[in-house]
């Protein structure tokens, strides 16, 4: 009988560094870009739609799988990270250019999304294929914490930096240029840490098959996924488990900065500091709590309680919008609870996806599931801003809260399919 894979000596380092890096372009897209567009005078609907389009481009990762598989996985991961760092630097240059033009900026964002898609596929496939079930469960907490740290640094961190830079006089575009250059430097430093961690891994080689053969292999992996009895349960989880939280997340930056329609009217610096401080306290707790709950109860029994608690922040956000509270302690408390319960629920969802993806064709199977997850994550952006503009933030958050019903039902449905997890 084949011995299960052992955890490499520095697995914790490459898992942390690689998934921190993975979150940098995502944070720039999801957290920083909405605030930047709002600073430049765009409406909520335009902002959420732009973020949705760039996010959906990342969803093409499954189409890249036959091409990516032809490269050495470790080398490809590092090469993609170098490309992403270079694109962040190029984006910083064009944002701060004397002759401001949206065309090269949009081009950089499209290429950044494509590079991020290829990097995501290679990294997730390597994570699933190189670690067994127990190792993945052990490292899922590290993965979750690393992701949140990256989101904090490249999201609220950049927003705070922009606010501080503007205090010294530079205009909005120049401030965002300096912030994006800082993100490029952060990416390079994380790349170095990831390279050192991956150096201790067992040697890997590229897939020597032809591209048509890899396409056929991809289709074979998808066929095995389609015949898995747990597929419907996991797809329901992906689509509904986080539906209310996803709708909330698309609007939070605009809700926090807007001074009208029930918004909080926060400055860039105040919003960023609140998000960073709440994340520092909440991100580690969420990942650790989620891992502990799954380890103690098992995946099947953990899905429902973690799913229920994940929807609670919507009540608080609706209250903030109705009440118009500007108490920073209250707002910060809501943010930290959001991070904790979201981190715990996401941990369970990731484990469910990895459980279904493990086995032959793991990389393709997980890429297919994560592609569906990206669609579920970004499609609401096409209508979220429009709904918030039309009904106001308070009614919008109540609408998002109503999506908790299918979310909880999906957890109950999935419970029966993971009794042995």
Domain CATH code at residue 166:
1.20.1250.20
Q: Please, which pLDDT band fits residue 226 given cuts at 50, 70 and 90? A: confident
Flag the least confident range among 134-143, 151-160, 222-231, 295-304: 134-143
Over residues 80-97, the mean pLDDT reads: 90
Residue with tokens 């109705």: 322
Spatial separation of the C-alpha atoms in residues 414 and 241, rounded to whole Å: 10
The model carries a pTM of 0.80
- Residue 50: partners with Cβ closer than 8 Å, 6 or more residues away: 33, 37, 42
Tell me the range of 185-194, 251-260, 303-312 where mean pLDDT is highest: 185-194
Flag the least confident range among 36-45, 190-199, 256-265, 355-364: 355-364
- Which tokens belong to 351? 């484990």
Whether 4 is in a domain gets the answer: no
SS (H, E, C) 346-396: HHHHHHHHHHHHCCCCHHHHHHHHHHHHHHHHHCCHHHHHHHHHHHCHHHH
Mean pLDDT of the residues in the chain? 82
Q: What pLDDT shows up at residue 89? A: 94
pLDDT digits over 270-303, tens only?
999 998 888 767 766 887 788 788 878 877 788 8
Q: Please, which pLDDT band fits residue 3 given cuts at 50, 70 and 90? A: very low
pLDDT digits over 203-212, tens only?
665 566 666 7
Whether 421 is in a domain gets the answer: no
Whether 124 is in a domain gets the answer: yes
Domain that holds residue 343: 11-415
Residue 421 has pLDDT above 70, yes or no: no
Q: What pLDDT shows up at residue 190? A: 92
Q: What pLDDT shows up at residue 139? A: 66
Cα 334 to Cα 220, 226, 327: the distances in Å are 45, 40, 11
Interaxial angle between packed helices 243-257 and 44-58, expressed in degrees from 0 to 180 and rounded to the nearest 10:
130
Are the C-beta atoms of residues 407 and 243 closer than 8 Å to each other?
yes
Over residues 391-406, the mean pLDDT reads: 90
DSSP character at residue 259: S
Spatial separation of the C-alpha atoms in residues 274 and 245, rounded to whole Å: 19
Q: Please, which pLDDT band fits residue 418 given cuts at 50, 70 and 90? A: low
> What count of residues does the chain have?
421
- The distance in angstroms from the start CA to the end CA of the chain is 21
Q: What pLDDT shows up at residue 399? A: 92
Q: What pLDDT shows up at residue 227? A: 74
Torsion of the alpha carbons at 338, 61, 42 and 23, rounded to the nearest 10? 40
- Cα-only R_g, the chain: 21
pLDDT digits over 330-348, tens only?
898 888 888 888 878 887 8
φ/ψ region of 358 (left if φ > 0, alpha if ψ in -120 to 50, else beta) reads: beta
- Which tokens belong to 379? 């499609």
Cα 182 to Cα 29, 33, 95: the distances in Å are 15, 15, 13
Q: Please, which pLDDT band fits residue 2 given cuts at 50, 70 and 90? A: very low
Residue 98: alpha-carbon gap to chain centroid: 33
Residue 401 has pLDDT above 80, yes or no: yes
For the beta carbon of residue 127, count every other beta carbon within 10 angstroms: 23
Are the C-beta atoms of residues 150 and 58 closer than 8 Å to each other?
no
Residue 200 has pLDDT above 60, yes or no: yes
Q: What pLDDT shows up at residue 272? A: 92
- Which tokens belong to 323? 């009440």
Q: Please, which pLDDT band fits residue 239 given cuts at 50, 70 and 90? A: confident
Spatial separation of the C-alpha atoms in residues 167 and 151, rounded to whole Å: 24
For the beta carbon of residue 169, count every other beta carbon within 10 angstroms: 8
Residue with tokens 């991956």: 198
Whether 6 is in a domain gets the answer: no
Percentage of residues of the chain with pLDDT beyond 70: 86
Whether 420 is in a domain gets the answer: no
Are the C-beta atoms of residues 247 and 379 closer than 8 Å to each other?
no
Whether 227 is in a domain gets the answer: yes
**In total, how many domains does the chain have?**
1
Q: What pLDDT shows up at residue 206? A: 58
Following DSSP, what letter does each residue of 144-200 receive, concatenated? HHHHHHHHHHHTHHHHHHHHHHHHTS--HHHHHHHHHHHHHHHHHHHHHHHHHHHTT
Are the C-beta atoms of residues 265 and 254 closer than 8 Å to each other?
no
Over residues 257-276, the mean pLDDT reads: 86
Over residues 151-163, the mean pLDDT reads: 90
Are the C-beta atoms of residues 418 and 240 closer than 8 Å to each other?
no
Over residues 193-212, the mean pLDDT reads: 71
CA angle 271, 153, 57 (to 5 degrees): 95
Whether 411 is in a domain gets the answer: yes
Whether 2 is in a domain gets the answer: no
DSSP-derived 3-state class of residue 228: coil
Smallest CA-to-CA distance from 251 within 113, 106, 383 is with 383
Percentage of residues of the chain with pLDDT beyond 90: 22
Q: What pLDDT shows up at residue 1? A: 37
Residue 24 has pLDDT above 90, yes or no: yes
Q: Please, which pLDDT band fits residue 360 given cuts at 50, 70 and 90? A: low
Spatial separation of the C-alpha atoms in residues 221 and 365, rounded to whole Å: 6
Q: What pLDDT shows up at residue 132? A: 60
């Amino acid at each position: 009988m084949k011995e299960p894979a052992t955890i490499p000596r520095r697995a914790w380092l490459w898992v942390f560094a690689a998934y921190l890096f993975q979150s940098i372009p995502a944070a720039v897209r999801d957290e920083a870009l909405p605030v930047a567009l709002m600073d430049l005078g765009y409406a909520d609907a335009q902002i959420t739609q732009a973020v949705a389009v760039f996010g959906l481009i990342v969803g093409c990762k499954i189409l890249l799988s036959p091409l990516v598989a032809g490269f050495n996985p470790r080398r490809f991961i590092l090469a993609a990270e170098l490309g992403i760092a270079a694109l962040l630097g190029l984006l910083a240059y064009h944002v701060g250019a004397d002759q401001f033009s949206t065309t090269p900026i949009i081009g950089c964002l499209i290429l950044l999304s494509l590079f991020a898609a290829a990097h995501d596929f290679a990294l997730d496939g390597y994570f699933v294929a190189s670690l067994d079930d127990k190792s993945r469960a052990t490292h899922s907490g590290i993965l979750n914490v690393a992701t949140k740290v990256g989101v904090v640094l490249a999201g609220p961190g950049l927003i705070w930096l922009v606010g501080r830079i503007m205090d010294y006089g530079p205009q909005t575009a120049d401030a965002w240029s300096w912030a994006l250059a800082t993100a490029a430097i952060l990416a390079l430093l994380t790349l170095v840490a990831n390279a050192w961690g991956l150096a201790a891994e067992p040697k890997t080689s590229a897939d020597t098959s032809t591209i048509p053969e890899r396409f056929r292999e991809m289709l074979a992996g998808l066929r095995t996924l389609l015949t898995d009895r747990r597929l419907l349960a996991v797809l329901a989880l992906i689509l509904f488990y986080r539906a209310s939280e996803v709708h909330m997340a698309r609007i939070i930056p605009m809700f926090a900065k807007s001074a009208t329609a029930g918004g909080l009217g926060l400055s860039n610096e105040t919003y960023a500091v609140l998000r960073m401080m709440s994340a520092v306290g909440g991100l580690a707790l969420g990942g650790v709590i989620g891992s502990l709950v799954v380890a103690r109860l098992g995946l099947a029994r953990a899905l429902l309680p973690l799913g229920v608690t994940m929807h609670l922040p919507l009540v608080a956000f609706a209250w903030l919008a109705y009440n118009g509270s500007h108490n920073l302690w209250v707002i910060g408390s809501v943010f930290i609870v959001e991070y904790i319960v979201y981190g715990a629920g996401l941990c369970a969802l990731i484990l469910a996806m990895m459980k279904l993806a493990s086995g032959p064709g793991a990389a393709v199977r997980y890429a297919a599931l994560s592609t569906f997850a990206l669609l579920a994550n970004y499609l609401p952006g096409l209508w979220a801003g429009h709904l918030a503009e039309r009904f106001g933030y308070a009614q919008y958050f109540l609408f998002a809260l109503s999506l908790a019903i299918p979310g909880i039902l999906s957890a109950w449905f999935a419970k029966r399919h993971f009794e042995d997890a």
